[in-house]
Structure 1
Amino acid sequence: MPTLIVATGNPGKLAEMQTYLEPLGCQLTLKPTEIEVEETGSTFYENACLKASQVAKAVNQWAIADDSGLAVDALDGAPGLYSARYGNTDRERIAKLLQALEGVSQRQAQFICVVSIAAPDGSIQLSTKGICSGEITHSPRGDQGFGYDPIFWLPEHKKTFAEMTKVEKQKVSHRGKAFNKLIHQWPGLKFDSF
């Protein structure tokens, strides 16, 4: 089983990916800090592929990357690709989004995640996508999770992501769905071919 280089410098993201990939028994390690990848794609798919490919080529090893964000229907998909840069802190991002939706009754939104794996030559060998549909609340609820979790409401669960346990969230989240698909497609990867 190869070690996958995670195309991030964020140890929290590495830990989260390790949890999702635990059933496969693969090892993950952070990318070298000197490797920077500019996210110039126009979709989550393009950015995930770009990050995985560039890191894989730079270290000549298998790499994994994800790109994700929140797309709000009433805002024509915003914040979308710019979800992490919609403000300087989670609190700012939430406040800005709630302000943008002030007076808006249609609050449907989707969290989207794309996970890509690249071979050492940079070729993308696998990409999966997970979508979790919900609604944006009028105010934050719950204290679990991060990012937009306190305002992302799942009607069928009657909770925001921030009100769910980590296990509950992993089962229904966009990232959980993308990694679940990846796990099912994993056996098709040809690690020995590179």
Structure 2
Amino acid sequence: MSKDKRILVIASGNQGKIREFQGLLADLPVTVEAQPDGLDVDETGETFQANARIKAQAVARLTGHWALADDSGLSVTALQGAPGVHSSRYAPTDAERIAKLLAAMDGLQERSAEFRAALCIAAPDGNVLLEVEGCCEGQITREPRGNGGFGYDPIFEVSKTRRTFAEMPPAEKKHYGHRGRAFALLKNPLQDLIKAS
């Protein structure tokens, strides 16, 4: 590792998410590492931003390096914002989460929803260095469409595209997606932080 590269630990055990961040961070002078195996941080926050902060601070303290955490999920208007911060725990598997959400919306005309992604970078002393939030608006389809993506992607139709995330190639999903939008807000300030450190 060259001395001008800073280690940035991704506060996640999800390999797909780590690969996504490695791609997003590829042209920054950082060495991306996964959090230690077996680490599980309790997400006790009531907002995506609070959960991202909890995870980033815990992993930064534990590893002694800057840590980047994200918390994201789906908020459905007709369900008073559910599943929200419980998106990944709404049911045991992606297929069951989709089935449960579609059942909860059965017969509802109001289908608007949004994906939100909160990103937080924390230092080992617990200081929050950066926080941003990205949003993608759309609506819940009446049945799954497409074979790509993961999670709720097959039932989330992105506004003005007439396609679900699961029907989009990865580059297009990155363009419209909440995590890509949040990262676009994070990138330049992160670059400045690295230069100043």
TM-score with structure 1 length normalisation?
0.95
Q: Which amino acid aligns with 1:167?
A: A
User: Which whole-Å CA distance do the structure 1 matches of 2:25 and 2:34 have between them?
Assistant: 15
TM-score by length of 2: 0.94
Whichever residue aligns with residue 138 of structure 2, its letter is G
1:166 corresponds to 2:184: no
Q: Percent identity?
A: 48
Select which of 140, 147, 160 maps to 1:143. Answer: 147
* Alignment check: 8 A CA contact 1:2 1:191 kept: no
Deviation at 1:192, TM superposition (A): 6.0
2:183 maps to: 179
Q: Is the aligned partner of 1:29 residue 2:22?
A: no
Deviations 1:67-98 (A, max 9, x none): 00000000000000000011111000000000
Q: Which consecutive residues of structure 1, in runs of 5 or more, have no partner in the other structure?
A: none
Q: Distance in 1 between matches of 2:165 and 2:38?
A: 34
Aligned residues: 193
- 1:112–1:130 contact (8 Å) kept in structure 2: yes
> What's 1:15 paired with?
19
What is the distance in 1 between the residues matched to 2:64 and 2:196?
14
C-alpha displacement of 1:154: 1.5
Q: Which deviates more from structure 2 when the two are superposed, residues 28-37 or residues 67-76?
A: 28-37
Matches within 5 A, 1:1-194: 1-189=5-193, 193=197
Following TM superposition, where does structure 1 have runs of at least 4 consecutive aligned residues deviating by more than 3 angstroms?
Answer: 190-193
What's the CA shift for 1:27?
1.8
Structure 1 residue 10: Cα displacement: 1.6
Distance 1:70 1:101 in 2: 14
- Unmatched segments (≥5 aa) in structure 2: none
Contact in 2 for aligned 1:35/1:58 (Cα 8 Å): no
